[in-house]
Amino acid sequence: MAEVMEKTALFEFLCRMGDNTLILGHRVSEWCGHAPVLEEDIALANTALDLIGQTQLWLEYAAEVEGKGRSADDLAFLRDVWDFRNVLMLELPNGDFGQTLMRQFLFDAWQVVMLGHLVRSSDTRVSEIAEKASKEVAYHLDRSRGTVIGLGDGTEESNARMQAALERLWPYVGEMFASDETDAAMLAAGVAPDPASLRAEFDAIVLPALAEATLTVPEGDFAHKGGRDGGMHTEHLGHILCTMQWLQRAYPGAKW
Amino acid sequence: MVASVEQVWDWLDAVPDPEIPVISLVDLGIIRNVAWAGDTLQVTVTPTYSGCPATSIINLDIETALRDHGVEKIELKRQLSPAWTTDWLSDKGREKLEEYGIAPPQPAGGPERCPHCGSTAVEKLSQFGSTPCKAQWRCTECLEPFDYFKCI
């Protein structure tokens, strides 16, 4: 019984990791061909590519753990909204370039911290995926951090946009540090840390950068929740899935 | 007649990277092991970047090359850890990259010199480039832009 529960929790945990990178990867890819300058367009596409690659590793393992014969592609393209486990921040529309990079920075910082712990996971496969992904994510953070500082401490216009982006996204940060029985099971099994315990490390990356960007962190710790436990996604996720899953829904089993 | 492991390494050293054909898969450092398990040839490959679209082509190219050399049973194994690092690029590979116009990776995080004119006056244009493994730089002496192989 304990084994069954742990397997269920592990599947849930892996979907949370994989759905985060899948949904953000898809959102970031929406910029392809639309970014303000060519270099940024390429950077965004490359970031999206890394995220989708990480998704494959997480969801492939999730599907194996589940043991129902589903593949990573089945999980990505054939689940409906209520089965997705990404945090709400990642499914929000991109907004402007500044908001996209602010979201990237906040998520990159969380990922860097989370993956840093997962490298020491008791689950070898989780540890290997984390080791691989953390190299890519460190690179992402380097760029998103630099861009947030550059735009925040930039012109009056760019500063105002970055401040607005921070105010829009800040209430979504708390969900990344929520914890529930799945996290308790993962902690007990030594697979993953309790997300709530990661906040101080996250703040140590994010707060100095926001200060350097001359941005003001909004007051209050209200957090929108409902993504990582699938309780209540925003209306936006359904629209993403419409685009992302359209081909497999219209032509079931179609192959590249 | 079963090919020796050394022979197989030589064959794989003749398989070009699909995106940067001047270097081989062995130069790139992604072939981690070659071994016979009975009559099956096991080749262990590690991805450069987890989302690199060339990965599936690389596997296909390995299989095709080995079949052309008469190997019938092939098993490709994926290894994630230790994660690929540009430290595994061969010296031969680094030289060929530079001849081709791509500055090889440096621990300092930026190219040592312009691969076209050799000037050390270079500046970064973007942390990302035309493939996941490259960034865009420019020489402020000869003014030519060039790719830099990211150091990870």
**Residue whose entry in the numeric block shows the structure tokens 């990480």:** A54
Nearest to A129 among B51, B80, B136 (CB): B80
Which residue from A minimizes the CA distance to B49?
Answer: A50
Q: How far is A101 from chain B (nearest CA, A)?
A: 14
Helix H or strand E segment including B148: strand B145-149
Candidates A111, A132, A136: best to mutate against B (most CBs of B within 10 A) is: A132
What is the b/e burial string over A188-220, where b = at least 16 CB atoms within 10 angstroms of the residue's CB? ebebbbebeebbebbeebbeebbeebebeeeee
pLDDT per position as a tens digit, A113-156: 999 999 999 999 999 999 999 999 999 999 999 999 999 999 99
CB A169 within 8 A of CB A102: yes
How far is the C-alpha of A42 from the C-alpha of B145, rounded, in Å?
A: 15
Amino acid, single-letter form, for residue A69: G
Q: How many CB pairs under 8 A join A and B?
A: 66
For chain A, which residues score pLDDT lower than 70? 1-2
Task: Give, in order, the Cα–Cα distances in Å from A172 to each of A30, A215, B100.
Answer: 21, 17, 46
> Does the pLDDT value for residue B31 go beyond 60?
yes
Cβ–Cβ contact B57 with A under 8 A: no
Q: How far is A55 from chain B (nearest CA, A)?
A: 9
Candidates B127, B146, B147: best to mutate against A (most CBs of A within 10 A) is: B127
In this complex, do A49 and B125 lie within 8 Å of one another by their Cβ atoms? no
Q: How far is B53 from chain A (nearest CA, A)?
A: 8
Q: How far is B7 from chain A (nearest CA, A)?
A: 30
When pLDDT is cut at 50, 70 and 90, the band that residue B1 belongs to is low
CATH number of A2-250: 1.20.1260.10
Cβ–Cβ contact B51 with A under 8 A: yes
Task: Give, in order, the Cα–Cα distances in Å from B16 to each of A18, B57, B69, B103, B105.
Answer: 32, 11, 16, 18, 19
**In the 8-state DSSP scheme, what is residue B84?**
P
**Residue whose entry in the numeric block shows the structure tokens 């000869």:** B142
Chain A positions in Cβ-Cβ contact with residue B127 (cut-off 8 Å): 43, 139, 142-143
Domain definitions of chain A by residue range: 2-250
Which domains does chain B carry?
5-84 (3.30.300.130), 96-149 (no CATH)
Amino acid, single-letter form, for residue A115: L
Which residue from A minimizes the CA distance to B130?
Answer: A42
* Cα dihedral A116→A119→A125→A131 (10° resolution): 70
Measuring CA to CA, which residue among A57, A199, A174 is closest to residue A125?
Answer: A57
pLDDT per position as a tens digit, A86-113: 999 999 999 999 999 999 999 999 999 9
pLDDT at B23: 95
